Amino acid sequence: MKKARIVVVGSSNTDMVVKSARIPGPGETVLGGEFVMAAGGKGANQAVAAARLGADVTLVARVGDDLFGERAIAGFRQEKIVADYIVKDPNKPSGVALIMVDDHGENIISVAPGANAELSPEDVQKARPAIEQADVVLIQLEIPLPAVHEAARLGEQSGARVILNPAPAQPLDDTLISCVDIITPNETEAEILTGIRPDSQEQLRKAAEELLRRGVNTVVITMGGKGSFLVSGEETGMVPTVPIRPVDTTAAGDAFNAALAIALAEGRGLRESISFANRAGALTATRLGAQPSLPTRAELDAFA
């Protein structure tokens, strides 16, 4: 089987996670909980997920010139991720995310982006040699939009498939969307991007068709335990997932996007690739933490 070549352009954070019975309300303290500190950030999560699933992965990112940054780069190299295009920023700290997770696996997250907010188009341009060799360029929105634009432009120009995971959601212009082959919002992100509340299959289809109208080729709306809703020029409909009892959904979407990129790069069809990605997201949600929860290819192949 062809080995996938993936370039991920995105964020790298250190996640500080507290798991407790429930998420406190404003002004409330909830006692009793488990604390975990782990590597995270949507870009880094997707890079690690892709590497563990068997791809050749290059990460384009910025970290601080600090202990968190050093630990992050060492971790990427341990995962056999090419870290040549990760910049150590002398003026900004590494990104940090504070995460609370309840007994149902739901979470709230607050991010201090630090060096992630300084990733520039010039940083992305330096990675052109890797992008020109990539099957897929995978991007998220925890980095500045000019860097996202440049990654999508270079990916389209090189003939790579460009996948945009529009999280955290924000308005996007059609110039960017038209460079994207596949966009993968969740339901909330789809509503922010289109103004259409996707609370039924008909509304899901309308939201997806609005994104198609703006220039993207394929829309995959992720719906957690329900699976994913696919709309492209050729097909429309739900792709079901594996039922699980979630522990922590923090990196499930990142595992989904990495697995989708790999399956497509390996030559699988679109619906089969989404099913593979659904399983990766489901397995990830059964474990605590971001990168610690990401499965290997052997673990995913064994997951029913």
Q: What is the mean pLDDT of residues 144-163?
A: 98
- Other C-beta atoms lying within 10 Å of the C-beta of residue 243: 7
- 131-145, 212-226, 239-253, 257-271 — which is least confidently predicted? 239-253
For residue 223, give the CATH number of its domain: 3.40.1190.20
Q: What is the mean pLDDT of residues 206-232?
A: 96
Q: What is the mean pLDDT of residues 182-201?
A: 95
pLDDT above 80: residue 1? no
Cβ proximity of 150 and 121 under 8 Å: yes
What would the 3-class secondary structure string for the chain be?
A: CCCCEEEEECCCEEEEEEECCCCCCCCCCCCCCEEEEEEECHHHHHHHHHHHCCCEEEEEEEEECCHHHHHHHHHHHHCCCEEEEEEEECCCCCEEEEEEECCCCCEEEEEECHHHHHCCHHHHHCCHHHHHCCCEEEECCCCCHHHHHHHHHHHHHHCCEEEECCCCCCCCCHHHHCCCCEECCEHHHHHHHHCCCCCCHHHHHHHHHHHHHCCCCEEEEECHHHCEEEEECCCEEEECCCCCCCCCCCCHHHHHHHHHHHHHHCCCCHHHHHHHHHHHHHHHCCCCCCHHHCCCHHHHHCCC
How many folded domains does the chain comprise? 1
In a domain, 304, yes or no: no
In a domain, 303, yes or no: no
Cβ proximity of 251 and 263 under 8 Å: no
168/141 Cα distance (integer angstroms): 6
Joined together, the tokens standing for residue 281 give: 């997201």
Return the pLDDT at 304.
65
pLDDT tier, 298 (very low <50, low <70, confident <90, very high otherwise)? very high
Q: Which domain range does residue 292 map to?
A: 5-296
Q: What is the mean pLDDT of residues 99-105?
A: 87
Residue 254 bears catalytic tag? yes
pLDDT above 90: residue 32? no
88/69 Cα distance (integer angstroms): 7
Q: What is the mean pLDDT of residues 124-136?
A: 98
pLDDT above 90: residue 290? no
pLDDT above 80: residue 2? no
Q: What is the mean pLDDT of residues 256-285?
A: 97
In a domain, 301, yes or no: no
Return the pLDDT at 18.
92
Return the pLDDT at 123.
98
More confident residue, 17 or 86: 86
In a domain, 43, yes or no: yes
Return the pLDDT at 158.
97
- 124-128, 145-149, 222-226 — which is least confidently predicted? 222-226
Q: What percent of the chain has pLDDT over 70?
A: 99
In a domain, 200, yes or no: yes
Output the average pLDDT for the chain: 94
In a domain, 173, yes or no: yes
In a domain, 55, yes or no: yes
In a domain, 302, yes or no: no
Q: Which of 66, 89, 135, 254 is catalytic?
A: 254
Q: What is the mean pLDDT of residues 213-231?
A: 96
pLDDT tier, 105 (very low <50, low <70, confident <90, very high otherwise)? confident
